Amino acid sequence: MYCLELAGEDDAFAAYEARAAAGEPELAAPGVAVARTLDRARARTLAYTHRASDLVGHTDASVESARLLLEAASLSREGTVAVRARDVRGESDVSTGDTERELGGVLVDRGYAVDLDDPDNVLRVVFADDRCFVGWQVVESIRDYGDRRPTDRPFFQPGSMAPLDARAFANIAGAQPGATILDPMCGTGGTLIEAGLVGATPVGVDAQKKMAAGARINLDAYVDGDAHVVRGDATALPLRDDAVDGVVFDAPYGRQSKIARHSLRDLVSGALEEAYRVAPQGVLVADRSWHEEAENAGWTVEETFERRVHRSLVRHVHVLRRDE
């Protein structure tokens, strides 16, 4: 069993993204999920999971209970150790410093040498509400999103999505090594960059020549390997049926499309129909619900999330599946 330390305030969304690496994670406490299986390589690419640990056990949220759990556990790790304690959202009112000293003492009594700077093994002690989870850390996700801020990219336009969210949406859409991920309204290429960085082949389409060219420039700056961007219409994609493994797109917000012949509703509906033709799964992000239009296009809306960006913008996330 594995313990996942989730990031952000929306645990349901974080746990759903974690499905890309973990087998059916279940929320166990605020900021914590547990899963029976874990793909460690993929877990490193998750946006809203900070760490995963091989669970030793769980108990109530007290230093004494954590100490008793560790004393009773069978330990087979080799090498030096360190204890790292965390109080998720500060809700358990437990001293993390006392926890690290107490459990560190247990490990020393069991014959382990402590190395606080560069340990071979890290014991994570996570307090969440009235629960405590103890486990050996096996994965820490790569937190390099600040290196790809939209304003720092070679090509930038206002309204670009933050890399953290773009990564999560790409993961939910099926981005992984060997997969092909399409964004039919790719803009500056943010979701394509994140899909490419987890090993997928990104394919972008945009109606504007300027955007398609800019997305190519951004992909060249961040992604090694194949990446394709063309100018085109999201409602008439230049792709064969079932050409890609997943689709993710950010629909226009509160305005008419640059494709003059389409109303916004016609554009989104047409894009959903084309996405259904070329991919078995997808993610649609928008400033409103397009649930009915997605179902009319043939999709099963497996899940929806509302992600607050700021006071005047809430992103509606539609997770789409095509029934085979």
- Which of 140, 168, 201 is the C-terminal boundary of a domain? 140
92 and 162 fall within a common domain? no
218 and 305 fall within a common domain? yes
- Which of 92, 125, 140 is the C-terminal boundary of a domain? 140
For residue 73, the enclosing domain spans 2-140
152 and 284 fall within a common domain? yes
Average pLDDT on 232-246 reads 97
8 and 132 fall within a common domain? yes
Distance set, CA 243 to CA 112, 173, 180, 202, 278 (Å) = 53, 14, 8, 12, 5
User: 13-27 in b/e burial notation, b at 16+ Cβ within 10 A?
Assistant: bbbbbbebbbeebee
242 and 309 fall within a common domain? yes
pLDDT tens sequence across 27-76: 999 999 999 999 999 999 999 999 999 999 999 999 999 999 999 999 99
- CATH code assigned at 114: 3.30.2130.30
Decide which of 40 and 313 is more confident: 40
- Which of 107, 140, 173 is the C-terminal boundary of a domain? 140
78 and 162 fall within a common domain? no
117 and 232 fall within a common domain? no
Mean of the per-residue pLDDT values for the chain? Answer: 95
194 and 310 fall within a common domain? yes
Residue type, 64: E
Q: How many domains does the chain have?
A: 2
In sequence order, the β-bridge partners of residue 281 are 321
- CATH code assigned at 191: 3.40.50.150
Express as a percent the part of the chain with pLDDT over 90. 90
Rounded to two decimals, what is the model's pTM? 0.94
pLDDT tens sequence across 170-210: 999 999 999 999 999 999 999 999 999 999 999 999 999 99
74 and 172 fall within a common domain? no
Residue position matching structure tokens 């797109």: 249
